[in-house]
């Protein structure tokens, strides 16, 4: 099972070495699409691959599909630069019998700084990431893009990857402010408010976000505010 790991990046010096160090244990090749990093991202990346391509930002989906197009193997593992494979997940993928399925979903453990966020709907957060190149592409969405697969032969892997997305809650808040602008879907203000209230209730109560303490409350409020901004005209 020869695997190409496809990664897009921009100024990821904080975490990309951990991502690439683990990816190298599994990948037959690593493809990187960089959109103009001006920190040490490229200096770090060149230690792990010589297949680094420069592309001005086209949007998440187009950027990721370009990375897939550059891959030479039949199987693709699409990673974000802040996602780190665990040794257990790497071994699970190596042990796969690929004739059984055309794609695999991988759960993600979200970390804010070094804190794993288990409750509030953040885990297991399964994402389709390992798939046959001839069957999968990212859909054309501005944000929260996902793989569209021309097959229903999909299953979940048992082991998760670690998602070191944000150094702090304020970093996460800034990211969601950007996502709300990109994903805007204006609705009647009453419906926008109702959706926002539902989001808070779902995150904090139904998905047990309150078990994360004060941070769980802040996250539920942040998501409610994100929903309100996204749906308000």
d(CA 155, CA 96): 11
Residue, of 188 and 48, whose pLDDT is higher: 48
Mean pLDDT, residues 127-149 taken together: 94
**In this structure, what is the dihedral angle of CA atoms 223, 141, 76, 28, given to the nearest 10 degrees?**
-80
pLDDT, one tens digit per residue, over 212-224 is 999 999 999 999 9
Q: How far apart are CA 130 and CA 9, in angstroms?
A: 19
- Range with the poorest average pLDDT among 45-59, 109-123, 178-192: 178-192
Summarize the confidence of residues 93-104 as an average pLDDT.
90
pLDDT category at 99 given cuts 50, 70, 90 is confident
Going by DSSP bridges, is the β-strand pair 3-9/52-54 parallel, antiparallel, or unpaired?
A: unpaired
Please state the domain extents for the chain.
Answer: 3-166, 169-231
pTM (predicted TM-score): 0.94
Asked if residue 151 has pLDDT above 80, the reply is: yes
Task: Return the DSSP state at 204.
Answer: I
Among 13-22, 130-139, 140-149, 190-199, the range scoring the smallest mean pLDDT is 140-149
Domain 3-166 matching CATH 3.30.930.20: the answer reads: no
Residue 74 contacts residue 135 (beta carbons within 8 Å): no
How far apart are the C-alpha atoms of 11 and 13, rounded to whole Å? 6
Average pLDDT, the chain: 96
CB 43 within 8 A of CB 68: no
What is the reported pLDDT for 233?
62
């Amino acid at each position: 099972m020869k695997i190409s790991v496809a990664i897009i990046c921009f100024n990821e010096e904080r975490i990309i070495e951990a991502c690439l160090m683990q990816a190298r244990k599994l990948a037959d090749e690593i493809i990187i699409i960089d959109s103009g990093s001006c920190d040490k991202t490229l200096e770090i990346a060149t230690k792990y691959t010589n297949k680094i391509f420069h592309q001005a930002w086209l949007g998440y989906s187009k950027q990721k599909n370009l990375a897939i197009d550059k891959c030479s193997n039949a199987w693709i593992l699409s990673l974000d630069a802040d996602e780190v494979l665990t040794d257990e997940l790497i071994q699970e993928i190596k042990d796969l019998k690929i004739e059984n399925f055309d794609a695999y979903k991988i759960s993600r453990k979200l970390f804010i700084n070094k804190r794993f966020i288990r409750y509030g709907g953040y885990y297991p957060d399964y994402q389709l990431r390992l798939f046959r190149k001839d069957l999968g592409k990212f859909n054309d969405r501005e944000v929260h893009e996902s793989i569209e697969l021309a097959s229903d032969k999909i299953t979940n892997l048992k082991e998760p990857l670690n998602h070191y997305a944000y150094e702090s809650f304020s970093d996460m808040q800034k990211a969601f402010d950007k996502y709300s602008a990109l994903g805007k879907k204006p609705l009647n203000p009453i419906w926008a408010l109702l959706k926002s209230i539902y989001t808070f209730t779902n995150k904090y109560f139904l998905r047990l976000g309150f078990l994360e303490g004060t941070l769980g409350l802040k996250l539920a409020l942040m998501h409610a505010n994100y929903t309100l901004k996204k749906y308000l005209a």
